[in-house]
Amino acid sequence: MNRLYLAFFFLFISAVTAKAQVTTERCFHLDKVQFLQHKQDFWLSHTLFSTASMPMSMTSPGYFNLTEGNYGFGMGIISRPFTHHFAGISTVNGYRFGNGMTLGLGVGWFQYNEGWLLPVYIDGRYFLGNQRVKFFLMADGGMLYDIKHPYEKFRVFGNPGVGLTIPVAQNFQLSFSTGLFAQWTNFFDRRDSYINMKLGLLFGK
């Protein structure tokens, strides 16, 4: 009888041990599957983050386009025509040289308090550092055409300033800048000055 009890005891112990081993192997398998899933999710998110965090580094040569909304408010005497304020849009197509410098040709449309002018200009910028949010120095300069009175006035302008770019996608950055906008009429006979701001989207491959 004791042998029978002993046999049942060993059988019970074997069953419990086998069940515990199966349970342990199952838990180990599930843990391994979860670990692999977490690892896959990590590398997927890392890839997406890395891709999104390094758009248009401005350190490799290539084409770029910058389209901006413009606003400027006059300084000094603002009672004369084309002196109070202006607002409009401009676009620049150009080339980045890979050392932080860019050069492009811009056109636009500016609405003033007394009419509108068409700017045609050269845009130059220098981007600082390798961080995601980049600061830059800029300088624009060119001519302002009055289509309604093309032979009455001759206007040129210059626009130095500073700004920064913020990545929003792989090849797109948000650009903001501010500076001093000065325009001269009739071969520097009269100068009008503005504080201007630009907000736009910078695209580059």
pLDDT digits (tens, 9 = 90+) for 57-109: 556 789 999 999 999 999 988 888 888 999 999 999 999 998 889 999 999 99
Mean per-residue pLDDT over the chain, rounded: 81
Distances (CA, A) of 139 to 61, 81, 89, 101, 159: 20, 25, 17, 12, 6
> Quick check: pTM over 0.75?
no
Confidence label for 110 from pLDDT (cuts 50, 70 and 90): very high
Q: Do residue 88 and residue 157 come from a single domain?
A: yes
Query: CATH number, domain at 75?
Result: 2.40.160.20
Confidence label for 36 from pLDDT (cuts 50, 70 and 90): low
Closest to 137 (Cα-Cα) out of 169, 100, 90, 181: 100
Q: Do residue 5 and residue 99 come from a single domain?
A: no
Alpha-carbon span 120 to 37, nearest angstrom: 55
> Looking at 17-21, 128-132, 140-144, 177-181, which range is the least confident one?
17-21
Q: Do residue 34 and residue 133 come from a single domain?
A: no
Q: Do residue 31 and residue 116 come from a single domain?
A: no
Q: Do residue 34 and residue 100 come from a single domain?
A: no
Provide the residue range defining the domain that includes 34.
1-53
DSSP single-letter state for residue 97: -
Q: With DSSP H G I counted as helix, E B as strand and the rest as coil, what are the percentages for the chain, rounded to 5?
A: 25, 50, 25
Q: Domain total for the chain?
A: 2
Q: Could you tell me the two tokens for 133?
A: 């949010």
Contact (Cβ atoms closer than 8 angstroms) between residue 68 and residue 198: yes
